[in-house]
Structure 1
């Protein structure tokens, strides 16, 4: 009977705001961002699929990143949109656990994919003669498989530990989606094991991947400095800067949310930042990734233009 009650209980997601006009504004902003995220990432997947010249390790990782961003964003934003305008903001335990599982899984998988993409760029720029040997098809497949496997194993462990906590009748989640730190603060029991597991996995996955990316880009930039052409240096620096900006935005906000202490009592400022900061890695970076990593690529732009010309000829 106790298990039945646990599986049928519902949580109340308090959302971003209760002010009516702000709710409408938030709804329109997030709906626009979500549609652009889905469109941009789907477009990238289609472009890579139809252009054989883009069947490279880098774009293999990018298509996986796009798929991750679509799932990541879709596990959170539709629920946010529904709860922004709906009177009933409740979510079932199963629905909450599923959302948490996918968001955690995609977040960890994205961290690893970003690290492997940085290593791929390092191999291409710093070891060009050995690139095809280093980044062979088998290795790329294994790296992607490992990323997805680790992501979901981590999420299953974290979700299992989270929903073993006692909540003592408090069903109000001060957040717009089911995220582990919010549930740790809600719990009336001992959360030491939960926090320890978050710090361990966060340090290994998030910080480990971030340091690997930084090391890769240090080597890349040192090689770029050897380029004689000032135009070539400027273009390479611009690309590196845009990549590092998005990576820092993603990892910085994730580490802020997961690798800092989670006191049961915290200030109004912390309550606001704990809702605002996750927007950057749940909605903003999935929107930016396809544009930052691929839309500046000549082959990608040529493929888009060719398809537009073909469509114009067919319509004519």
Structure 2
């Protein structure tokens, strides 16, 4: 039986506008079976990938929420590294279409021997942007055009060994039953049960808006900015950001299982406070992300 690759989030950076001694600019790699989705590679992402032990060849998609520097200035180094490492498979790039001029400048920021096959997918509206893996976007509310991402695995069915045995279905016949839906008098529904697909959402710079709630609805893992603490909610709104308490409330309302807080302002010396404010309104697992951390996608429901 072929082993399935781990589904996990590799945190590459957790700072907001200014990096600190312990927090790099943004960067998040989601390992999803044979895919590696790199979200918002800020300055220094190439080095963070090395420190995390992640080869550039793991990257299959680059997903930008918007074109503020802390979310994209690492893109030139990442793309040039992919060329340097002679990665031959296509790399798909998703980004707001309104920022194409910035993407083009980042794509060719300096001269290099460019052998990389970059497939560009400018985003113009809410909806699906990729079929495999299934990736969709929703518009957020920031100071410039910004989109959040939601990765969705289709619902499937979990085979029940005791029912398969009782029905006399075993070996290659199991796969045939999964493919066709029936095998003689035996139907797939009789020997299996529904298996909800896993879901992950990625929400960066934004105020509270409909898009935030749509992205977070029912996800297993929500990676979300919490730039400010609740005491500075007015600042958060003025600059187009969320507080830790707001992120926790979104997760509670949406039925999230694991909440990953990130994108912390350098003004706060104690990151534990972000977790405390989110946990006050959300009773699921709260992760206050730190650089080079690995967060597994929760087991299936």
Question: Which category describes the TM-score, using the shorter chain as reference length?
Answer: under 0.3
Greater fraction of residues in strand: 2
Q: Which of 1 and 2 has higher RCO (CA within 8 Å, sep 6+)?
A: 1
Higher helix share: 1
